[in-house]
C-alpha cells in the first residue's frame, strides 16, 4: 500500500477514535479502538469474612495502536445500570497492571505491541449483586497526544453454587497467609502453561499457625519441628475421591526456597481431591511418608490425608490449600470457597511483611485480637485472618 494511502487509513482510524470519544457506548456501528481488552475468566464472587462479596479477576489489555498508550483510569461498571463499582486512577493502576501479566513488571504505560494484565479486586457493597460488568478504559495515545475512552470487556459474573468445605486443620491460631484479595503471591500467580494463561491459585491460602505467644516458629528457624504448624494432621475438607497424590519427596531445609525444583515437584507431597460439582482441592507440601491415600481412594470429610510438612517449593512448613475447577493443580482455574464454620480470633493488620518477618525470624506476629471472637459461617477467611477450627 502506498505511503499516502496508509496515512489516510491511519487518519481515518484516528478520526474514528476521536469521534468515539463523544459517541455513546451504545452506538451500533463497530468502532475502532487503539487497544483490545478482555476478562481472562468471568469472575465468581467470593463471600469474605468481612461480610462482603469480592470479585477477584484479571483484565487483559493489549495495545493495537502505532503509539504508546498511557492508562489514566479504569472503572468497573455494573451492567446494564452503569453503576460505578470500582475506579482505579493512575496510582492504583500502577500497582495492579503488570506488563505481560508478569508480577513485578507493573506500569501504567503500554508500549507499541505490548499487553498487560490488570489484577482487579472489587469489594462489593452489601446491596450490589452484579450479574454482569464492563470496563470503562480511559487512556492517552502518546502520539499524537489524544485522550480516548471506551466501555469494553463486558463479562457475566458467574452464579455458581458455593463450594462448602469443612476444616482442613483442627485447633487454634491458624493464620491465612497470602490469602484473598489484595496479597500478591497467590492472587497474581498467572502462569503460561500449555500455551495459555492459567490462574489456579487465585484463592489459595498458605496456612501457618501461631503459638500462644503469637510465634510461627520458636527457636532455630532451620529446624522443622520448631514451626508451630509442623506435623499437624491435614484433613479432608469434604467427602471425595483422590485423583492423585505423592508421598516420596524429602523435606526442605526452611529459610529459603529450594533451587532447581521441577514443575512436577513444586507441590511437594500432595493430594488432589475431587469433591464433586466440578471442584477439586489441592493440599500441598506435606511430610514424606505421611500421605496415606492414593488415586481412586474414597475419603470422608474429616479423614486424615497427611501431615503438614515442608516439601516442594516452600521455605517454611505450611499447608497450601486451594480449590480449582479441574484436576491439575496448576493448569486449571482457581475458584472461591467457604468454610462451613470457624472462629475468627485475630487479624494481622501489620500486613504480609509482618507475616514474612515472623516466619523468617521467629518474631511474634503483630496481631489485633477480635474480641469477642466471632463464629463465622459459610465465608472465606480473608488475608491474615487468624482462625480456630474445630471438628
Contact residues: Zn ion, CB under 5 A: 206, 320
Give me the least distance between CB of 96 and Zn ion, in Å please: 20
**CB closer to Zn ion out of 206 and 208:** 206
**CB closer to Zn ion out of 162 and 206:** 206
Give me the least distance between CB of 201 and Zn ion, in Å please: 7
**CB closer to Zn ion out of 108 and 311:** 311
Q: Calculate the CA 317 to chain-centre distance.
A: 21
Q: Calculate the CA 95 to chain-centre distance.
A: 15
**CB closer to Zn ion out of 162 and 267:** 267
Give me the least distance between CB of 241 and Zn ion, in Å please: 23
**CB closer to Zn ion out of 53 and 285:** 285
Cα 79 to Cα 57: distance, rounded to the nearest angstrom: 17
**CB closer to Zn ion out of 206 and 348:** 206
Per DSSP, the residues of 234-294 read: EE-SSSEEEEEE---PPPPPTTSPPSS--GGGTT-EEEEEEEETTEEEEEEEEPTTT----
Cα 250 to Cα 157: distance, rounded to the nearest angstrom: 42
**Residues 102-130, buried b or exposed e (16+ Cβ, 10 A)?**
eeeebebbbeeeebbbbbbbbbbeeebeb
Give me the least distance between CB of 103 and Zn ion, in Å please: 14
Nearest-CB residue to Zn ion?
320
Contacts of 79 (CB under 8 A, 6+ apart): 130, 131, 132, 133, 134, 154
Give me the least distance between CB of 84 and Zn ion, in Å please: 33
**CB closer to Zn ion out of 77 and 217:** 217
Grid cell of 298 as nine digits: 474414597
**Which residues sit opposite 175 in a β-bridge?**
208, 386
Helix (H, G, I), strand (E, B) or coil at 88: strand
Grid cell of 49 as nine digits: 469474612
Grid cell of 286 as nine digits: 506435606
Give me the least distance between CB of 152 and Zn ion, in Å please: 33
**CB closer to Zn ion out of 206 and 359:** 206
Cα 16 to Cα 325: distance, rounded to the nearest angstrom: 41
**CB closer to Zn ion out of 131 and 185:** 185
Give me the least distance between CB of 322 and Zn ion, in Å please: 8
| Phi then psi dihedrals of residue 96, to 5 deg | -125, -10
Give me the least distance between CB of 57 and Zn ion, in Å please: 19
Closest Cα partner for 136 from 120, 127, 149? 149
Neighbours of 203 (CB within 10 A): 25
Give me the least distance between CB of 334 and Zn ion, in Å please: 11
Q: Where are the beta strands (DSSP E) in 64-114?
A: 69-78, 84-89, 97-99, 109-110
**CB closer to Zn ion out of 54 and 320:** 320
> ω before 144 within 30° of 0 (cis)?
yes
Q: Are strands 115-123 and 233-235 parallel, antiparallel or unpaired?
A: unpaired
Give me the least distance between CB of 162 and Zn ion, in Å please: 22
Grid cell of 364 as nine digits: 511474634
Amino acid at each position: 500500500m502506498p505511503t499516502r494511502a496508509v496515512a489516510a487509513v491511519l487518519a481515518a482510524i484516528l478520526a474514528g477514535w476521536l469521534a468515539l470519544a463523544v459517541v455513546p457506548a451504545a452506538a451500533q456501528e463497530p468502532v475502532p479502538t487503539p487497544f483490545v481488552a478482555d476478562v481472562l475468566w468471568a469472575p465468581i464472587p467470593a463471600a469474605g469474612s468481612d461480610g462482603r462479596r469480592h470479585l477477584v479477576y484479571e483484565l487483559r489489555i493489549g495495545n493495537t495502536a502505532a503509539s504508546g498508550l498511557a492508562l489514566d483510569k479504569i472503572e468497573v461498571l455494573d451492567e446494564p445500570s452503569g453503576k460505578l463499582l470500582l475506579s482505579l486512577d493512575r496510582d492504583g493502576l500502577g500497582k495492579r497492571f503488570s506488563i505481560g501479566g508478569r508480577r513485578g513488571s507493573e506500569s501504567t504505560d503500554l508500549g507499541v505491541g505490548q499487553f498487560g494484565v490488570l489484577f482487579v479486586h472489587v469489594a462489593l457493597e452489601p446491596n450490589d449483586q452484579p450479574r454482569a460488568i464492563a470496563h470503562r478504559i480511559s487512556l492517552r495515545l502518546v502520539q499524537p497526544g489524544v485522550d480516548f475512552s471506551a466501555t469494553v470487556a463486558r463479562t457475566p459474573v458467574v452464579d455458581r453454587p458455593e463450594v462448602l468445605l469443612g476444616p482442613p486443620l483442627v485447633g487454634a491460631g491458624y493464620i491465612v497467609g497470602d490469602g484473598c484479595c489484595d496479597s500478591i503471591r497467590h492472587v497474581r500467580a498467572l502462569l503460561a502453561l500449555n500455551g495459555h494463561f492459567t490462574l489456579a491459585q487465585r484463592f489459595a491460602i498458605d496456612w501457618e499457625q501461631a503459638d500462644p505467644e503469637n510465634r510461627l516458629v520458636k527457636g532455630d528457624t532451620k529446624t522443622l519441628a520448631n514451626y508451630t504448624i509442623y506435623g499437624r494432621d491435614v484433613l479432608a475438607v469434604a467427602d471425595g475421591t483422590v485423583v492423585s497424590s505423592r508421598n516420596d519427596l524429602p523435606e526442605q531445609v526452611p529459610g529459603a526456597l529450594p533451587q532447581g525444583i521441577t514443575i512436577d515437584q513444586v507441590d511437594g507431597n500432595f493430594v488432589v481431591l475431587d469433591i464433586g460439582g466440578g471442584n477439586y482441592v489441592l493440599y500441598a507440601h506435606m511430610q514424606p511418608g505421611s500421605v496415606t491415600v492414593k488415586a481412586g481412594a474414597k475419603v470422608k470429610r474429616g479423614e486424615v490425608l497427611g501431615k503438614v510438612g515442608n516439601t516442594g517449593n516452600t521455605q517454611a512448613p505450611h499447608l497450601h490449600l486451594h480449590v480449582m475447577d479441574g484436576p491439575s493443580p496448576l493448569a486449571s482455574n482457581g475458584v472461591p470457597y467457604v468454610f462451613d464454620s470457624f472462629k475468627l480470633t485475630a487479624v494481622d493488620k501489620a500486613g504480609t511483611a509482618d507475616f514474612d518477618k515472623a516466619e523468617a525470624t521467629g518474631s511474634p506476629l503483630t496481631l489485633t485480637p477480635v474480641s469477642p471472637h466471632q463464629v463465622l459461617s459459610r465465608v472465606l477467611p480473608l488475608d491474615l485472618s487468624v482462625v480456630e477450627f474445630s471438628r
